[in-house]
Amino acid sequence: MALFVPDWSLERKGAKDQRRHLEKIREALRDRLPDLISDESIITSDGKHVLKVPLRSLEQYRFRFHSWQGDRVGQDQGGGRPGDVLGRIPQDGLSQKGDGGSGAPGEIPGIDYIEAEVSFEELAGLMFHELGLPYLKSKPLATLPVPALKFKDISPKGLMGNLDKRQSLKQNLIRNAVAGRAQVGGWKERDLRFKTWVDEPDPEDNAVIIAMRDISGSMGDFKKMMARTFAFWMLKFLRTQYEAVEVVFLVHHTQAREVTESEFFQLGESGGTKVSSVYQLCREVIDTRYRPEAWNIFPIHFSDGDNWSDADNRRTVDILESMLPGVNVFGYAEIREGGYTSTLMSAFSRLQHPRFKTVTITHRGDVYPALKAFFPREGA
């Protein structure tokens, strides 16, 4: 019975299976995305920090007894009398984090949580992996990715190779003229002018989101939150696809106007709803500021669908139809808590167009499927 000291350094079995377990947890994370992405702490964050998500270690289902039915035998220092409270029953939820609270021996048999750190990028990555941009404007492929550099501006500083001789000469002449000399010469550093280039925005690389929201009296906190969550992820997603994404915020009740981002998410006003007003404004914004030839346009409208009248619904559909050829995807997200179908939604349902998408959001978990409906991955 000698004491052996074999070489165990190549033993990796535990580590390998441990990794497999963690991989499976990541897979499980994907299943929880609909819940995770509507978490308020994410939406209100700057989008940079690392999230700590309590994740259950993977369950190993088997036949087992109900945890808290029936009594058990325990052991203490001898003090406890019948009726004394030992602790709380761990709730089967996220309130019970870690391994049962204190690190003392004899923890309440609880739920195994692994506090996984998920960076924002990781979460977004998991999610955006499932999304795609289906309706890109057709453009010859060859012109697509090359950044267009154009000399468009003149600057007093720059590279000698980019010297703009004509402009420099002009400056020299001006300076001499000011000094009363009609001549060229006496060159100074400050006479020189250089051609500088600007990044010409390539239309394919730019997108604008026109976010429209109903701020009529019927839009409560939940509806606001859902609109916000959706707009947040839509913006994040489009930013991963385009170099520059602009956002225009429009709100409406019976009248529409343009607002700032913070107003957009906070405003709550009373009053009725006239959807055509905001669609009209949207069309104006597109016509005047974002030419469809140069921009990828993503209008999205959040409402509960309680529109003023059928006449207005018809007007709305007309305006919408006139916009559709110019936009990439026009989204209408109806957020409501009840199960009925609004008149606006039924008016829209008669409109069949590949670039027009409607979704209904009734609870947090619907946000993710709604995003997927707007941005379906091709071939998925």
Partner 1 sequence: MDSPRYPTDQEIWDLARSNGLDPFAITFENVPASVLYEIAAYLIPGRMAHWSYGKAYHAMKMRYDYGLNKLYEMVINANPAYAFLLASNSELENTFVRAHVMGHVDFFHHNHCFHHTGSDMVEVVSRHAERVRQYEFQVGHTAVEQFLDAVLSLQEHISLPAPSVRPRAVENHLRPQRGWSSADWGLQSPSDSIGERQVKPNTHEEEDLLRFIMVESHYLEDWERDVIEMVRQEMMYFWPQIRTKVMNEGWATYWHATLMRQLTFSDDDYIDYARLHSQVTAPLVYQVNPYALGYSVFQDLERRQGRDAIFLARTVDDDVSFVRNYLTEEVAEALHLFVYGADQDHVIVKSRQFELIRDQLVKELVHGGIPVIHVNDGDFNQRGELYLIHRHEGVDLDLPYAERTLRYVHRLWGRPVHLETRSSNKRLILSFDGHLDTKTVL
**Cβ(154)–Cβ(195) below 8 Å:** yes
Query: From the list 28, 29, 58, 126, which residue makes contact with partner 1 (rule: CB under 8 A)?
Result: 58
Output 62 or 188, the one with its CB closest to partner 1: 62
Using the contact rule CB under 8 A, the part of the chain among 66-74, 161-169, 252-260, 278-286 near partner 1 is: 66-74
Output 59 or 189, the one with its CB closest to partner 1: 59
Determine the distance from the C-alpha atom of residue 332 to the mean position of all C-alpha atoms in its chain, rounded to a whole number. Answer: 17
User: Least CB distance from residue 93 to partner 1, whole Å?
Assistant: 13
Using the contact rule CB under 8 A, the part of the chain among 51-59, 193-201, 345-353, 354-362 near partner 1 is: 51-59
Query: From the list 28, 39, 54, 57, which residue makes contact with partner 1 (rule: CB under 8 A)?
Result: 57
**Cβ(268)–Cβ(215) below 8 Å:** yes
With vertex at residue 175, the alpha carbon angle to CA 172 and CA 179, rounded to the nearest 5 degrees, is: 135
Q: Are strands 296-303 and 256-259 parallel, antiparallel or unpaired?
A: unpaired
**Cβ(274)–Cβ(307) below 8 Å:** yes
Question: Site residues for partner 1, window 75-94 (CB under 8 A)?
Answer: 75-78, 80-89, 91
Query: From the list 15, 141, 146, 159, which residue makes contact with partner 1 (rule: CB under 8 A)?
Result: 15
Output 1 or 380, the one with its CB closest to partner 1: 1
Query: From the list 46, 48, 69, 117, which residue makes contact with partner 1 (rule: CB under 8 A)?
Result: 69
Residue 179 touching partner 1 (CB under 8 A): no
**Cβ(55)–Cβ(24) below 8 Å:** no
Question: Site residues for partner 1, window 16-35 (CB under 8 A)?
Answer: 16-22, 24
Query: From the list 31, 48, 61, 95, which residue makes contact with partner 1 (rule: CB under 8 A)?
Result: 61
One symbol per residue from 94 to 113: x for binding partner 1 (CB under 8 A), - otherwise; what is it? Answer: ---------xxxxxxx--x-
The residues that bridge with 54 in the sheet, in sequence order, are 115
Determine the distance from the C-alpha atom of residue 172 to the mean position of all C-alpha atoms in its chain, rounded to a whole number. Answer: 53
The rounded distance, in Å, linking the Cα atoms of 212 and 233 is 15
**Cβ(29)–Cβ(53) below 8 Å:** yes
Any residues with CB less than 8 A from the CB of 215 and at least 6 apart, and which? 251, 252, 253, 267, 268, 269
| Interface residues toward partner 1, by CB under 8 A | 1-6, 8, 11, 13-22, 24, 57-78, 80-89, 91, 103-109, 112
